[in-house]
Amino acid sequence: MKTPFKVLGLILACVVAFAAAESWGQDYPSKPIRIVVGFAPGGGTDVTVRMLGPKLSALLGQPVIVENKPGAEARISTEYVAKAAPDGYTLLAGGTGQMVLNPGLFEPVPYDPVNAFIPITLFNLDQLVIAVHPLVPANSLKELIALAKAKPGQLFHASSASSFYLAAELIKRQAGVDIVQVPYKGAAPSISATVAGETSMIVLSIPPLIGLLKAGKLRALAINGPARSRFLPDIPTALESGLDFDGSTWVGLFAPAGTPRSIVDKLYSATSAVLKDDAMKERFVSQGREPLGPVAMPPAEFDAFFKAELAKWTKAIKDFNIRAN
């Protein structure tokens, strides 16, 4: 049985710990902040974070450094941040693949996406584009499917993340074709491989491909999503092309579980201010990215969005019985 003095001591210890955490949050940040990206430099996530970094630095008064830790479909980077100190100095640029798809595709994964992280806000929500090398004799998704049926196992898809792997896998399953997936450690090397003709096709978000598509170095066949993209208005959706497939890829900012609420709120305020800046919106548009929708949603809304996405895609993976190679 605890004596009154012991109970009082426990209460005082809790008060001191709470006060210390609040003080810690008020002093934050006092040193550089690292945002960890699970892919090689040059991909969509990397470009977005590097674009936001300088403006976040200006608002927070400390350098914001991008640290690339590619490999294992971003499982390495995600586990690294999950085990980091919850002090707001090591954050994760977490996307659809590592936070929503990996747990179903690579069961088990070395982190718990729900309990190991605190969602802060959403950076971007992008449509995907299905594109091929110009020498591939297909000018539509239907023609690509016909080609794949005529040449089973002879077409190759450059895959750089779980979200793009799953998108291509769903296309293959619905169309009943055999297209071989070739994994890369990031969007940039997967794009280079497709442009060089080492792979036949690529499924990726629009921003990293928009310049290559307009230059004719790749050919867009279809857009994944409920509506056509204003950046590629002549390209039909996968739904228009006969596939019942709708989805998107997103990236948001996450902190390790246990990070003080005051730090999370400070990070959200700074990040949302940058995302809502008119100049930043113009830069997004110039990259083929819509600065609309749920971008910059508050932590509670982002948490609900993230959990809904996890439930939706976990079900899809189980329904189609998909496993990563």
CATH number at residue 141: 3.40.190.10
With 0-12 / 13-18 / 19 or more C-beta atoms within 10 angstroms meaning exposed / middle / buried, residue 226 is exposed
pLDDT value at position 4?
Answer: 52
Q: Do residues 60 and 37 share a domain?
A: yes
Q: Angle formed by the axes of helices 141-150 and 162-175, to 10°? A: 70
The structure tokens listed for 17 are: 């710990």
Q: How far apart are the first and last CA of the chain?
A: 57
Q: Do residues 107 and 136 share a domain?
A: no
Q: Do residues 194 and 47 share a domain?
A: no
Q: Do residues 173 and 189 share a domain?
A: yes
pLDDT value at position 9?
Answer: 52
How would you write the pLDDT of the chain (325 residues) with one tens digit per residue? 445 555 555 555 544 444 544 445 579 999 999 999 998 898 888 989 999 999 999 999 999 999 999 988 899 999 999 999 999 999 999 999 899 999 988 878 999 999 999 999 999 888 899 999 999 999 999 999 999 999 999 999 999 878 888 888 888 988 999 999 999 988 889 999 999 999 999 999 898 899 999 999 999 999 987 789 989 999 999 989 888 776 788 999 999 999 999 999 999 999 999 999 999 988 888 888 765 556 789 999 999 999 999 998 898 888 888 877 6
Q: Do residues 121 and 253 share a domain?
A: yes
In the chain, which residue ranges form alpha helices assigned H by DSSP?
Answer: 4-27, 44-60, 75-82, 96, 102-105, 141-150, 162-175, 187-195, 206-214, 261-275, 278-286, 299-319
- Between the alpha carbon of residue 218 and those of residues 42, 129, 151, 205, 239, the distances in Å are 17, 11, 21, 14, 21
240 lies in a domain?
no
Q: Do residues 113 and 254 share a domain?
A: yes
DSSP 8-state code for residue 247: -
232 lies in a domain?
no
pLDDT value at position 287?
Answer: 80
Q: Where residue 301 sits, what CATH number does that domain have? A: 3.40.190.150
Task: Please write the tens of the pLDDT for every residue from 98-127.
Answer: 999 999 888 789 999 999 999 999 998 888
Which residues form the domain of 184? Answer: 128-224
Q: How many domains does the chain have?
A: 2
DSSP 8-state code for residue 94: E
Q: Do residues 259 and 111 share a domain?
A: yes
Q: Do residues 110 and 52 share a domain?
A: yes
Pairing of strands 201-205, 156-159: parallel
Q: Using alpha carbons only, what angle is made at residue 279 by residues 210 and 263, rounded to the nearest 5 degrees? A: 105
The structure tokens listed for 27 are: 């002093």
67 lies in a domain?
yes
Task: Please write the tens of the pLDDT for every residue from 303-314.
Answer: 999 999 999 889
Q: Do residues 36 and 105 share a domain?
A: yes
Q: Fill in the amino acid letter for 45.
A: T
Q: Do residues 110 and 254 share a domain?
A: yes
Q: Fill in the amino acid letter for 282.
A: E
25 lies in a domain?
no
Residue indicated by tokens 């927070």: 60
